[in-house]
Amino acid sequence: MARHFLTGEELTTGELQGLIERAIELKEDRLRSRALEGLSVALVFDKPSTRTRVSFETGVFELGGRALVLREGELQLSRGESPRDTALVLSRMVHAIAIRTGPHETVEELADYSDIPVINMLTRDHHPCQALADLVTLRERFGRLEGLKLAYVGDGNNVARSLLIASRLAGVELAIATPPELGLPELASIPLDEAVRGAHAIYTDVWVSMGDEEDAEGKRELLAPYRLDEDLLSKARDDAIALHCLPAHPGEEISEGVLYGERSAVWDQAENRLHAQKALLELLISSLPER
Ligand code: CP
**pLDDT tens, residue by residue, 202-238:** 999 999 887 777 788 899 999 999 999 999 999 999 9
For residue 165, which amino acid is it? Answer: I
Length of the chain: 291
Q: Using CA positions, which residue lies closest to atom 1 of ligand 1?
A: 245
Answer whether 235's CB lies under 8 Å from 197's CB: yes
Task: List ligand 1's pocket residues with C-beta within 6 A.
Answer: 49-52, 122, 130, 245-247
The CATH number of residue 199's host domain is 3.40.50.1370
**pLDDT tens, residue by residue, 122-167:** 999 999 999 999 999 999 999 999 999 999 999 999 999 999 999 9
Q: How many angstroms separate the CA atoms of 204 and 14, rounded? A: 27
3-state helix, strand, coil split of the chain in percent (to 5) is 45, 15, 40
Residues 137 and 259 grouped into a single domain: yes
Residues 234 and 276 grouped into a single domain: no
Residues 159 and 115 grouped into a single domain: no
What pLDDT, on the 0 to 100 scale, is given for residue 291? Answer: 57
Residues 93 and 133 grouped into a single domain: no
Answer whether 64's CB lies under 8 Å from 70's CB: no
What pLDDT, on the 0 to 100 scale, is given for residue 261? Answer: 98
**pLDDT tens, residue by residue, 10-42:** 999 999 999 999 999 999 999 999 999 999 999
Answer whether 285's CB lies under 8 Å from 39's CB: yes
Q: Using CA positions, which residue lies closest to atom 7 of ligand 1?
A: 50
Residues 80 and 119 grouped into a single domain: yes
Residues 23 and 39 grouped into a single domain: yes
Q: Does the residue 58 lie in any domain?
A: yes
| Other CB atoms within 10 Å distance of the CB of residue 257 | 15
Q: Does the residue 93 lie in any domain?
A: yes
Q: How many angstroms separate the CA atoms of 209 and 230, rounded? A: 23
What pLDDT, on the 0 to 100 scale, is given for residue 227? Answer: 98
Report the residue among 43, 44, 45, 51 best suited for mutation to probe ligand 1: largest number of ligand atoms under 8 A from its CB: 51
In terms of Cα–Cα distance, which of 206, 153, 209 is closest to 179?
153
Specify the higher pLDDT residue, 248 or 211: 248
Model confidence band, residue 290 (pLDDT cutoffs 50, 70, 90): low
Angle between helices 128-142 and 13-28 (to 10 degrees): 70
Mean pLDDT of 98-110: 98
Does residue 252 surpass a pLDDT of 90? yes
**pLDDT tens, residue by residue, 47-77:** 999 999 999 999 999 999 999 999 999 999 9
Q: Does the residue 1 lie in any domain?
A: no
Give me the domain span that covers residue 81: 13-127+271-285
In terms of Cα–Cα distance, which of 34, 36, 56 is closest to 45?
56
Ligand 1 atom closest to the Cα of residue 100 is: 8
Residues 65 and 152 grouped into a single domain: no
What pLDDT, on the 0 to 100 scale, is given for residue 9? Answer: 98
Find how far residue 167's CA is from the centre of its chain: 12
Residues 263 and 144 grouped into a single domain: yes
For residue 207, which amino acid is it? Answer: W
Q: Does the residue 133 lie in any domain?
A: yes
Ordered DSSP codes for 172-233: -EEEEE--GGG-BTTB----HHHHHTT-SEEEE--SS-TT-GGGHHHHHHHHGGG-B-HHHH
Q: Does the residue 5 lie in any domain?
A: no
Ligand 1 atom closest to the Cα of residue 122 is: 3
The domain total for the chain is 2
Q: Output the average pLDDT for the chain.
A: 97
What pLDDT, on the 0 to 100 scale, is given for residue 289? Answer: 83
Residues 247 and 281 grouped into a single domain: no
Q: Does the residue 199 lie in any domain?
A: yes
Q: Does the residue 8 lie in any domain?
A: no
Answer whether 178's CB lies under 8 Å from 184's CB: yes
Ligand 1 atom closest to the Cα of residue 47 is: 6
Q: Using CA positions, which residue lies closest to atom 6 of ligand 1?
A: 49
Predicted structure pTM score = 0.97
Residues 101 and 43 grouped into a single domain: yes
| Sequence-separated (6 or more) residues with CB below 8 Å from residue 214 | none
C-alpha 14 to ligand 1 mean position (Å): 27
Q: Does the residue 108 lie in any domain?
A: yes
Residues 200 and 104 grouped into a single domain: no
| Triad 26, 70, 61: Cα angle to 5° | 25
Strands (E), 86-207: 96-100, 118-120, 149-153, 173-177, 201-204
Does residue 89 surpass a pLDDT of 90? yes
What pLDDT, on the 0 to 100 scale, is given for residue 122? Answer: 98
Ordered DSSP codes for 218-266: HHHHHHGGG-B-HHHHTTS-TT-EEEE-S---BTTTB-HHHHTSTTB-H
Residues 96 and 159 grouped into a single domain: no
C-alpha 289 to ligand 1 mean position (Å): 31
